[in-house]
Structure 1
Amino acid sequence: MSGLSIYLTEVRNLSDITTGVTIALYGCSAFIYSILLGSAIDKYGLKICLILGNISALTGFVILLLNSSISIQIVSILTLISAGNSVVLPSLKLGVSHYANENAKSLGFSMFFVVFFISGALAGIIVDIALSLGSTDSATFNKIFMIGISFVIISTALSFLIQDIEKPKENMQTWEITKEVIKTKVFWKFMVLTLLLVIVKTLYSHLTMTLPLYMHRDIGGDAHFGYMLAVHKGIVVIFIPLLTSMVYFFNCYSLLIIGSFISALSVIPLLFGANYYTVIIFIVIVSIGESLYAPRLIDYTLAIAPPGKEGTFVALASSPLALSMIIAGLSGGALLSNFCPSSGERNCWAMWGIIGLMVLVIPIIMIVFRNFLEEMPRKVEDNL
């Protein structure tokens, strides 16, 4: 989805507000699909969910390529692509839990995110190269869609090679599995924490939604936002393995606080103006924060998930994170229009200041209410 905001505003001529609402609706649909489809992972297994999720996303991207109607394209994004991602990502995370050795799961989650961010870096580079060689027009983005389709085809083919370790629960309906998880106290306790972390996740969503338009307007029309996104992913790839050892000194909850606090401070360089130096410093700091935050969140989630309900728990517990796209889409569109418009007086630094203050509140709340929010990992609790 790299470059989506550029595509909607520059190619399809949608306003900042409309683009923001579209991205927000994508997050909303992802949230709904995560709830509706989350228990399918436990019932049908990883292989089937990966295959169907990839086929759904593939169909959506084919429609983007072959149909020029903006209405149909938006519907495709909000249904097929959103549903596919809502199934594939939790399935991949659960796959790490299934296949990784018990003593190496933290490293396994870290390596998962290394691969995840490498793919994000490649996406940013591909989009930037395509726009540099072409222009911000439909023909260029059609080539980008074709490249995306090629990768999804490969992902679909690889999904057929997956072999489930655990036998799917055929004797329960998917909604029954979901209800069992929803009834647990640990789920609702974690949902409160996850809803707080939505605000932190919003900052990372602004990287792909707001930063491209910010650079395009405040640095110049030829600003290489794709390369900056690639730098972000590259730094995360480097720091995730380096910072994984911190799990031996801090528990996952503490690392979530530290990562959130670092992320909030990352916007400070952008308060001093728009240029490649301030953007790179911002990206370096936010990347370090995300290197601490992202792997430990899924590590913590699976550590406290009820036995046998890991797939449902991961999908449901991750679903509020889709809300970050709603917040980022709506706030990004509003902030861009008011502080960093395409024409007229700009105070883009104020936009990032507001975003930073919103994020900074979260680690403070996590510290103050730690006794209520923090849950003991299941493997430790079972030994008491």
Structure 2
Amino acid sequence: MPLYTETSNSLRVISSSPSNIFEIYTLNIILSFDYYIITLLLPLYYSTSFGLSDLHAGYIFGCTGLFLSILSFTIGHIVPEIGCKRGLVLSTLSVFSGFMILSMCRSFYISLFAILGLICFGIALSGPLIGIGVKRYSDSTNRSTSVSILMMGTYLAGIIAGTYVDIVWNFFEDKAVIFDIIFSTAAGASGLGFFIAVTLKSNEKLEGNQLTSPNSVIFTKKFWKFLIVIGFVTLLHSVCFEQLDATFPKFITRVIGDKAHFGIFFGIYSANMLIGALAFTPLTFKLSSYTLIMLGGSLGALASFMLFLGSTNLNFIAFALLLSSGECILVPRTLDYTMKVASEGEEGVYLAVCNSPYYFGMILTGIISGKLLENYCPEYGDKSCFFIWKVVSVCAICVVMLMGIFKYCISHNESQAETGDSREIRN
């Protein structure tokens, strides 16, 4: 109970924060909805609309991650120059333009430009900006709770996206119409985000006034140790958690058929993350963020093994619940860990790197997903679909073991970071 009391006290402090932080939370929900839409539908979109094979659709999924990664690293250097408000306006406008093009065009190459150019740019730009906004309006006493609330918004967007996709997918027969409707909705959401970003009040606290040169950040021992940690997190995302988007929809439709309600399981997954993000927050008062990252990865490995056991709804639900429990621990605590490592003025670079597991991991995810589906779960021919999840589970366990072995070499002194954060002003 004392742990939950500390969380409750943090919530009271956050509730009295300036309105800016709640507008940032809202923008996070909108842009997360757009991100979930594109990652959930991307392989199906290219296989259905353009007749691409599983492997080639997987390559495009991987290329999306590559572009997001490159843009994320690049944007980390320019975020301090453009500021939070201008950056969020540019981000929402870019995502809006990309989805509008997708909803109207039937060209393969134009669709690639819309996704790899406009949408990827907007999403990659928004990550560091939203993270900076949350850090500037929190301190070490309520930061874990602030991050958990931020991630709850992300997971709420996942619930909405998964449920909406499932309803539209099963209501309409024409797949082209389905994609047009969903992409138009995503464009409308980012249009609303653009309006919120334009009306966002800019002030010194949000924009910051002490910026550190990127070169002085990346040539430090602290940064490279942090980069190794993020490398492990990237592996966990690519071999385990991202398979929900890249592999699970095709896996379940080939095991059950066209009426497989993969969107419902995605909704269960997101609903549990929404609850767990705050429910697991009290653990941060007793365990380090690094230890909790390892715990999240272990739950993800166990979740994948559940699918190896069979195609019952109970196994699918167990998979969704365990995987979401792992991710709602791993993702907020990775962001929490990043904020503890990054000093004031360094957030742009560190938060850009922190976002790379979701993007860079998509490269490996796309390749792994395409290979596993074509070898073990092809659309036609002999299938051994459940073996896919045994491979995923073993790979995830290996990554967690490596994190445990190298923990004392690469983990950051989090208690020292929290002491340094005590200088920050609470508004």
> What TM-score do you get using the length of structure 2 for normalisation?
0.85
1:73 pairs with one of 111, 115, 120:
111
Q: Cα deviation per residue 1:108-160 (whole Å; 9 max; x = unaligned)?
A: 00010001110011011111111111025211210111111111011111112
1:47 corresponds in structure 2 to 85
Q: 1:166 aligns with which of 205, 208, 212?
A: 205
Q: 1:343 to 1:200 in 2, by over 3 A?
A: same
Q: Which amino acid aligns with 1:295?
A: P
Within the alignment, does 1:205 sit opposite 2:242 as a pair? yes
The number of residues matched between the two structures is: 380
Counterpart selection for 1:259 from 276, 281, 296: 296
Partner of 1:120: 158
- Aligned residues of 1:61 and 1:149 also touching (Cα < 8 A): yes
Maintained 8 Å contact 2:127/2:355: no
Q: Give yes or no for the alignment of 1:132 onto 2:170.
A: yes
Q: Secondary structure at the match of 1:166?
A: helix
**1:227 Cα deviation from its structure 2 partner:** 1.1
CA-CA distance at 1:317 after TM superposition = 3.6
The Cα shift of 1:169 comes to 7.5
| Superposition deviation, residue 170 in structure 1 | 8.9
CA contact (8 A) 2:58 2:366 kept: yes
Identity of aligned residues (%): 26
Asked whether 1:181 is paired with 2:181, we answer no
The residue correspondences of 1:26-37 to structure 2 (distance < 5 A) are 26-37=64-75
**1:132/1:275 Cα in 2 relative to 1: closer, same or farther (>3 Å)?**
same
Amino acid paired to 1:151: A
- Quote the residue 1:90 is aligned against: 128
Deviation digits for residues 198-219 of structure 1 (CA, Å, limit 9, x no counterpart): 1211222111121111111111
Normalized against structure 1, the TM-score is what? Answer: 0.94
Q: Match for residue 371 of structure 1? A: 408
Runs of 4+, deviation exceeding 3 Å = 164-172, 380-383
Note closer, same or farther for the CA distance 1:241–1:320 as it changes in structure 2 (3 Å cut): closer
Q: Is the 8 A contact 1:181 1:306 kept in 2?
A: no
Q: Distance in 1 between matches of 2:139 and 2:412?
A: 23
Letter in 2 for 1:8: Y
Q: What is the distance in 1 between the residues matched to 2:299 and 2:357?
A: 22
Partner Cα distance (2:280, 2:333) in 1: 10
Matched, 1:191 2:191: no
Distance in 2 (alpha carbons) for counterparts of 1:233 and 1:320: 19
Counterpart residue type for residue 138 of structure 2: A
Contact 2:340 2:418 in 1 (8 A): no
**Structure 1 residue 285 and structure 2 residue 285: aligned?**
no
**1:273 and 2:317 matched:** no
Deviations along 1:162-214, whole A, 9 cap, x unmatched? Answer: 32443757998xxx832222112111111011111112112221111211111
Instruction: State whether structure 2 residue 377 is matched by structure 1 residue 340.
Output: yes
Instruction: Measure the CA separation in 1 of the matches of 2:207 and 2:148.
Output: 26
In 2, Cα distance between equivalents of 1:94 and 1:228: 32
Residue 17 of structure 1: aligned partner: 55
List gaps (5 residues or longer) in structure 2.
Answer: 1-37, 422-427
